[in-house]
Structure 1
Amino acid sequence: MLHYSITRPGGILRLNPSAPLRKEDFAGLSADVDAYLAENAKLHGVLVHAKGFPGWEDFEGFTAHMHFVREHHKQVERVAVVTDSPLAGMAELLGKHFISAEVRHFPFADDDKALAWLENA
């Protein structure tokens, strides 16, 4: 399951995955992000906050995730990955090659620092 919210007017998308990601998680997320972007040029930041990466429920969940990233990454300035997962370093490295946003990793307990970094974009 993916919990999310968009801070208005700041333009920060907060993502809190708590279980393996499903195709359905991205349908609602895409609709809400598209509605925000219809009125605003960009999301100033995305904050992904998870103790560990929950993975995907199935291949449909994975492809929905990749589709969401492909469709929206050019409208995002920064991504803060806030986690203690050992995969965070890889996410930061891969992000630099596949998305236009600046990506930075923060330890799970430093969500306030991550939010401050996103707000100062």
Structure 2
Amino acid sequence: MIEHTLDTAHSILYVRPTSSLEKDDFRQLAETADPFIEETGALEGLIISSPTFPGWKSIGAMVTHFRFVRDHHKFIRKVALVTDSAFGDLGEHLASHFLSADIKHFPVNDLEAAEKWVAGKD
């Protein structure tokens, strides 16, 4: 499950996985992000904040996640991975080869630094 909020004033989508990711999570993210992207052209940033990576509930959820990334990465300028999971470093290095967004890993207790980086105030 993913909790999320869209800060329209700063054009940042906050994502907080709370348990294994499900297919419906990505439908809900798209329902929030897509109208804003259509109106403004892009998101300044996506901040994913979770102490650990919770994994996927099913293979279908993993495929849906990858499709969401494929369909949205061109419309997100920066992605901050705020986590203490080793997945944060791995995600930063691997994803930078496949995504158009700038990606940076931050420790879980450094959300403020992630927000500043996404906003260009670092």
TM-score by length of 1: 0.97
Structure 1 portions without partners, runs of 5+? none
SS at match of 2:103: strand
| Alpha-carbon distance in 2 for matches of 1:17, 1:51 | 9
Q: Distance in 2 between matches of 1:30 and 1:64?
A: 11
Give the distance between the partners of 2:64 and 2:30, measured in 1 at CA.
Answer: 10
Cα root mean square deviation, aligned? 0.9
Aligned to 2:21: 21
Counterpart residue number, 1:33: 33
Q: Percent identity?
A: 35
Partner of 2:87: 87
Where in structure 1 do 4 or more consecutive aligned residues deviate above 4 Å? none
Measure how far apart 1:44 and its partner are: 0.2
Distance 1:95 1:79 in 2: 10
Report the counterpart of residue 117 of structure 1 in structure 2: 117
TM-score (norm 2): 0.96
Judge which range, 31-40 or 64-73, deviates more.
31-40
Residues in 2 aligned to 1:79 and 1:95: alpha-carbon distance in whole angstroms: 10
Distance 1:107 1:101 in 2: 19
Deviations 1:10-43, CA, capped at 9 Å, x for gaps: 1101000010000011111111111111111110
Alignment-mate amino acid for residue 66 of structure 2 = M
SS of 2:53 mapped into structure 1:
coil
Q: Which amino acid aligns with 2:67?
A: H
Q: Matches of residues 8-87 of structure 1 in structure 2 within 5 Å?
A: 8-87=8-87
Aligned length: 121
Distance (Å, rounded) in 2 between the aligned partners of 1:114 and 1:37: 21
Counterparts of 1:20 and 1:96, CA distance in 2:
24
